[in-house]
Amino acid sequence: MKVVIVDDHQLVINGFKNLLSGGSFEVLATFTNPQEALVKIPKLQPDVVLTDLDMPGLSGIELIQQLRAAIPDQKFIMLTMHLNQQIIKKMLSLKVDGYLSKNAHPDELTQALKAVGNGRTYYSADVTQSLAFSGNQIQSQNPMLTLVLSEREKEVLKLIANGESTKTIAEQLHISIGTVETHRRAIMTKLEVKNMAGMVRIAVQEGLV
């Protein structure tokens, strides 16, 4: 997968390059100047552009808007320290493919790239949890992930994403606590996630909460 990184901090760029080196990713170019990136990215034709939000001269939002006008199919992942809901909503309105907090675990960057490269959206766990509790939703561009779940598993996943305890889920669905745990393990296996944050992220992306 061919990647371009745009960030006005060279140390951040170096960190992302090191993280992506030696895997299935090729960093085509990096830019600390977003205006330069705007000119050169169309010629580079990357699969995904990773861009910071706050940059001098041209913000990440402006960069995405102008590149989208030139390359409608270009995929973007926003990298930022901001979890402000208004900014996140702006990203949703721009149909940004991914929104990754710089506080996210390093593994999430590779997960995000793989998801976006495969035509899905990826919003990091802290972003999706923030939106879930605020009543907003991230609509998946490819709402197919939860098709592997049974209707009961979807019910359990929805309640988990809404923050309900195992005991409460058991009471609401009139099943045993052990059965809830069995469903939880099955959901994690089918969705290929390792923790609750991963389940919440997919639940929000799929519009279950």
Would 16 be classed as within a structural domain? yes
Would 130 be classed as within a structural domain? no
| Residues 6 or more apart in contact with residue 13 via CB below 8 angstroms | 5, 7, 30, 32
Residue 175 has pLDDT above 90, yes or no: yes
Residues 56 and 188: their CA atoms lie apart, in Å, by: 41
Would 53 be classed as within a structural domain? yes
Last residue of a domain, which of 124, 157, 188? 124
Higher-pLDDT residue of 5, 54: 5
Residue in 115, 77, 71 with CA at minimum distance from that of residue 95: 77
pLDDT > 90: percent of the chain: 36
Same-domain status, 118 and 177 = no
pLDDT in tens, 90-132: 777 777 888 888 777 788 888 889 888 888 878 776 666 665 5
pLDDT in tens, 126-158: 666 665 544 444 444 444 455 678 889 888 988
Same-domain status, 172 and 116 = no
Same-domain status, 88 and 12 = yes
Same-domain status, 62 and 117 = yes
Say what the alpha-carbon torsion angle 149, 150, 151, 153 is, to the nearest 10 degrees.
-70
Last residue of a domain, which of 61, 95, 124? 124
- Mean pLDDT for 158-165 is 82
CB–CB of 150/128 below 8 Å? no
Same-domain status, 109 and 193 = no
**Torsion region of 13: left, alpha or beta (phi above 0 gives left; psi -120 to 50 gives alpha):** alpha
Would 139 be classed as within a structural domain? no
pLDDT class of 84 with cuts at 50, 70, 90 = low
Would 136 be classed as within a structural domain? no
Structural domain count, the chain = 2
Same-domain status, 149 and 119 = no
- Mean pLDDT for 46-53 is 94
Same-domain status, 26 and 104 = yes
Residue 101 is part of which domain span? 2-124
Higher-pLDDT residue of 185, 202: 185
Q: What is the CATH number of the domain that holds 149?
A: 1.10.10.10
Last residue of a domain, which of 124, 156, 184? 124
